[in-house]
């Protein structure tokens, strides 16, 4: 059976940012960092402390990669980060796994003797 490996350029990626459920105090001991995060949140900088979801889609098939406890100066700095690049790679890997599973199941239906 051939393995499906979609290239990144054929995949639609979407970033979804939501408030982090826990406080930065749970992850940072440095009071200056915690104060900066709270100050930035008060200024409506949602990227100061957030939970990220990266969706990878091909057609109607979609998967997500998740990462919490993120703190960045801006959306631009997060999109340029290794953390975001890792999330995209993980989502692409998950999408390829899902597509391969679907392909395998369809092959079983098409060729029941396999």
Give the tens place of pLDDT for each residue, 73-114. 999 999 999 999 999 999 999 999 999 999 999 988 888 875
At 59 the pLDDT is 95
Q: How far apart are CA 46 and CA 67, in angstroms?
A: 15
Do 69 and 60 contact (CB within 8 A), yes or no? no
**pTM for this one?**
0.88
**Quick check: 2 pLDDT over 80?**
no
At 114 the pLDDT is 58
Terminal-residue alpha carbon distance, the chain: 11
At 4 the pLDDT is 86
């Amino acid at each position: 059976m051939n393995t499906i490996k979609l290239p990144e350029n054929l995949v639609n990626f979407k970033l979804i940012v939501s408030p982090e459920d826990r406080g930065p105090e749970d992850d940072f001991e440095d009071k200056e960092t915690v104060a900066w995060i709270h100050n930035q949140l008060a200024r409506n900088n949602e990227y100061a402390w957030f939970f990220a979801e990266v969706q990878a889609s091909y057609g109607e098939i979609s998967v997500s990669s998740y990462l919490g406890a993120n703190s960045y100066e801006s959306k631009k700095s997060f999109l340029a980060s290794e953390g975001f690049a890792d999330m995209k790679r993980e989502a692409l890997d998950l999408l390829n796994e899902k597509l391969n599973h679907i392909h395998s199941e369809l092959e079983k239906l098409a060729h029941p003797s396999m």
